[in-house]
Amino acid sequence: MEIDKSSIVYSLSGSQGDLFDYFPYLFQDLWELGGGSDEIIDLIERNCGLLSPTTEILELCCGKGAVLIKIINKFNCIGKGIDLFEPFVNDAVNKAREYNLSDRIDFEVMDIKDAVNNLRNYDFVIYGSDTNILGDEYESLRKIIKCCKPNGYLVYETVIKSEEDELKFLKELGLIIIDKQIAQPDEIRKMNDFINEKLIRRAEELIDKFPNQKKLFEDYITAQEKESFELENNLTLVRFFLQIN
């Protein structure tokens, strides 16, 4: 499979392709790459209660599999996670093995563009918006919901500026808003501080090893800190629990 390195770099808040080979090192201390697994579990439990062991859950752009593994461990159902970055998928496979869930979760290296064209009939789809590779937000969701069964559910995490605009196009797509969870500033700040602390430490180690790449790593950390500031001060992180109409 030909890997679109630029989309992976972009999804991890980078802007330079030279970072690609360093991501496994930078992210080695992080399993949950964006937080929110407990909140997503709470949304599912609050609105669906216990799930059947035959319930099938798909997570798109699953990273290292933290969210999906925690969900399957909680509800004892069936999961599939796809991500384009093979080192993260390998970590997810190993983590599922640690949790004794290898027989219930399948992790696969797959482009989300292929996933939305080929994967169908899932009871739940989980997606955190972090790339425009499928088009704008409306077009992305239009493609993603095809992976769901009729009357299935989409757990959708996104960053918004206007809740009114967001609600409007969700309804235009025929999505029923069952529930939502707005991340509180303290939650976001705690998540960002934890992630950035780990990334900064590893970036400093890389600068020591590769001093000629100092600017590359410093620019990446600066971009991370800028994104964190925006998320904490100017944007709203929302997790929607949606039903396909």
**d(C-alpha 123, C-alpha 75), whole Å:** 13
Instruction: Find how far residue 32's CA is from the centre of its chain.
Output: 9
DSSP, collapsed to helix, strand or coil, labels residue 33 as coil
What is the reported pLDDT for 131? Answer: 73
Instruction: Find how far residue 226's CA is from the centre of its chain.
Output: 19
pLDDT bin (cut points 50, 70, 90) of residue 90 is: very high
The arrangement of strands across the sheet holding 175-182 comes to 105-109, 78-83, 56-60, 122-128, 148-160, 236-244, 175-182
Quote the mean pLDDT of the chain: 92
Three-point CA angle 112, 94, 71, nearest 5°: 65
Sketch the domain layout of the chain as residue ranges. 5-186+231-244
CATH code assigned to 5-186+231-244: 3.40.50.150
pLDDT value at 2 more than 90: no
pLDDT bin (cut points 50, 70, 90) of residue 160 is: confident
pLDDT value at 162 more than 90: no
Mean pLDDT of 184-197: 93
Counting other chains too, the contacts that 48-54 makes at CB distance below 8 Å and 24 or more residues apart are 48/153, 50/75, 51/75, 51/76, 51/77, 51/123, 52/77, 53/77, 53/78, 54/78
What percentage of the chain carries pLDDT values higher than 90? 78
Buried b (16+ CB within 10 A) or exposed e, 152-167: bbbbbbbbbeeeeebe
pLDDT tens across 91-123, in order?
A: 999 999 999 999 999 999 999 999 999 999 999
pLDDT, greater one: 131 or 219: 219
Mean pLDDT of 158-180: 86
Please report the beta strands in 5-95, taking only residues with DSSP state E, as ranges in sequence order.
56-60, 78-83
**d(C-alpha 168, C-alpha 106), whole Å:** 35
pLDDT bin (cut points 50, 70, 90) of residue 169 is: confident
Decide: 63 and 88 in contact? Cβ < 8 Å. Answer: yes
pLDDT value at 161 more than 60: yes
User: Highest mean pLDDT range out of 40-44, 136-140, 232-236?
Assistant: 40-44
pLDDT value at 42 more than 90: yes
How many of the other CB atoms lie within 10 Å of CB of 132?
13
DSSP, collapsed to helix, strand or coil, labels residue 53 as coil
pLDDT tens across 54-78, in order?
A: 999 999 999 999 999 999 999 999 9
Decide: 125 and 154 in contact? Cβ < 8 Å. Answer: yes
Alpha helices in 77-184 (DSSP H): 86-98, 112-118, 137-144, 163-172
Return the structure tokens found at 207: 């600068």
Tell me if the pTM is above 0.75. yes
Compute the Cα dihedral for 8, 14, 15, 21 and give only its sign. Answer: negative
pLDDT tens across 206-240, in order?
A: 999 999 999 999 999 999 999 999 999 999 999 99
